[in-house]
Structure 1
Amino acid sequence: MAEIYDLHCHSTASDGALSPTELIKRAHEQGVTSLALTDHDTTAGLAEARAAAAASGIKLISGIELSTSWHDKCFHIVGLGINPDYGPLAQATQNLQTVRLERAEKIAQKLEKKRIPGAFEAVKRAAGDSMITRTHFADFLLSQHHVSTQQEAFDRYLARGKPAYVSTPWAELEQAINWITESGGIAVLAHPLRYKLTANWMKRLLTAFKEAGGQGIEVVTSRISADEIKLVAGYAARFELAGSAGSDFHNPENQWVELGRLAPLPPHIKPVWELLEVQG
């Protein structure tokens, strides 16, 4: 049986729609053989996912997606094969919970000024003990009929430069990579084309990422074209980074993004899962 890797997805521990158990079940149904649960800034879903994976025969890779700052921009770094009990990383996730809660309060205040009340209470209720993300706010705006889609919520209210956007002091890029690597994991730059960097800025970012200990880059993601895969594969080759593949799955209602439904990694790119095997 062919191995099918999906090394980027989310559960209800952050902003996914499925519980860790439901996520594993869906991955199994989609033929995924190795799955990394990479919730935003938390490892809270890993224990449940591990139990479900053991029952279904899927290999679970402990992961996280850390929000980081570099040159006043936010970048996401996926950690694969991490030890969630590593002290500094565990403490960092607790600190990030506080940062996200404070950001949520500020976003709600900005929405209140736009005559959209009740956001903070609603997103806290929706998130429960999980991380509060902007997706929770997008869902709230959608439920209150202020927008017709999640994307419209970001485009009109939540994205950088929009009325409810809040600049957030995330961990510095180098520090986040250190948490990942010192916990035994591999740092991977998530969805590199989403940041809309010029070629020069992308080279600067990848130089800093590599110097800090980064080892991989997501070459294959959902809804990526062949030309875009070729472009990112070129960066991977130039900076000697392993290639990763991840759907960034959040919600089964999104018909365009599915667990394991990914283009093949270009054959000349070293797969990041080979590094995970060496790592043991």
Structure 2
Amino acid sequence: MNSEIDLHCHSNASDGHFPPDELVRLAAGRGIKTLAITDHDTVDGFRRGRNTAAELGIRLIPGIELSTVWSGVSVHIVGLGFDPDAAVMQQAEQHQSSVRAARAEIIAARLAKKLRCDIPLADVIAFGNTSADQLGRPHFAKYLVEKGLVPSIQHAFSKLLGAGKIGDVKSGWPEMTTAVEWIVAAGGTPVLAHAHLYNMTRTKLRSCIRDFAAAGGKALEVSYGKMDSNQSGQMAALAREFNMLGSCGSDYHGPNRFGLELGVMPTFPSLITPVWQQWQVSIPA
């Protein structure tokens, strides 16, 4: 469905294609009325997009997607509706920025060793038109394709950058519960992002959600991008089991990323209380 609410998307403040103001204009053109730009480990997307959103009459919710670990697994926590100027959130951004810059150096070195060629970090940064503290694995994947070192972005992730591969560097990321506490302290709502994609057994995922809830987590993504109806149903069942709100989002990054468009996602499960009710936003038809 084409939803009027998209609470998970990315601008070029992290690894998305469009600048925040252009992303907001694209959202307006697609009929989206409530948007959260949830860039990785930074609130800059919200800060740079809010004036355009106000001009176009879009409700722009402060958002961020924090990189964390839980029991050795990379887990992403989306924060929504927090105070972007809260000291705790600014400190969180600074921490994540330093970790991301150090992580980029490790990834470059590991890829160079594995592929037996130079992977100059400065070249990856220039190619991605970004900075070291915002460099992510998608930037490396695109660089490897451009240099002819791998045949496709999918290949880059499946062989080098995906979960458990040499480019999946977890060192430095905070524990999941710490990130949840940051968001709560800033007055926001923590959302466990795309939990259906984590390589966990159902028992382990339930344990993760239990710890998430105990730390102050409030919602699960129950309608997400290319999630199928079975996956949506599973996430909805877990949301009911743990008395969680539901969130939705496309995880849009730009043209041809995962074949998605901004605002496109499965129909929101009817029995789940939506996270946006707390912002007094109507449920999309």
Q: State the TM-score, normalizing by the size of structure 1.
A: 0.94
Structure-2 residue corresponding to 1:128: 130
Gaps of 5+ in 1: none
Structure-2 residue corresponding to 1:145: 148
Give percent identity, aligned residues only.
40
Alignment of 1:79-98 (within 5 A): 79-98=79-98
Cα 1:86–1:156 shift into 2, 3 Å: same
Number of residue pairs matched?
Answer: 277
Structure-2 residue corresponding to 1:70: 70
> Is the contact made by 1:222 and 1:256 (CA closer than 8 Å) also made in structure 2?
no
Structure-2 residue corresponding to 1:253: 256
Instruction: Quote the offset at 1:255 in angstroms.
Output: 6.4
Structure-2 residue corresponding to 1:21: 21
1:204-224 CA-partner distances (Å, limit 9, x unpaired): 011101111000000001111
Structure-1 residue corresponding to 2:226: 223
**Secondary structure of residue in 1 paired with 2:98:** helix
In 2: Cα distance, 1:153 partner to 1:59 partner: 36
Instruction: Using the TM superposition, name which of 261-270 and 8-17 deviates more.
Output: 261-270
Cα 1:124–1:243 shift into 2, 3 Å: same
Instruction: Using the TM superposition, name which of 28-37 and 126-135 deviates more.
Output: 126-135
In 2: Cα distance, 1:183 partner to 1:135 partner: 29
In 1: Cα distance, 2:256 partner to 2:210 partner: 37
Structure-2 residue corresponding to 1:117: 118
In 2: Cα distance, 1:80 partner to 1:135 partner: 23
In 1: Cα distance, 2:153 partner to 2:207 partner: 32
In 2: Cα distance, 1:160 partner to 1:270 partner: 31
**Secondary structure of residue in 2 paired with 1:78:** strand
In 2: Cα distance, 1:242 partner to 1:95 partner: 28
- Structure 1 residue aligned with 2:195, among 179, 185, 192? 192
1:161-215 CA-partner distances (Å, limit 9, x unpaired): 3343433221111111111011111000000111021110111011101111000
Over 3 Å off, 4+ runs: none
Structure-1 residue corresponding to 2:165: 162
Structure-1 residue corresponding to 2:54: 54
Instruction: Quote the offset at 1:117 in angstroms.
Output: 1.4
> Is the contact made by 2:46 and 2:61 (CA closer than 8 Å) also made in structure 1?
no
In 2: Cα distance, 1:93 partner to 1:9 partner: 18
- The RMSD of aligned alpha carbons is 1.7
1:32-71 CA-partner distances (Å, limit 9, x unpaired): 1100010000011222210111111111001000011111
Instruction: Quote the offset at 1:124 in angstroms.
Output: 2.0
Gaps of 5+ in 2: none
Alignment of 1:256-275 (within 5 A): 256-275=259-278
Instruction: Quote the offset at 1:93 in angstroms.
Output: 0.8
Which residue type is aligned with residue 124 of structure 1?
Answer: I
> Is the contact made by 1:103 and 1:168 (CA closer than 8 Å) also made in structure 2?
yes
Which residue type is aligned with residue 194 of structure 1?
Answer: L
Cα 1:21–1:110 shift into 2, 3 Å: same
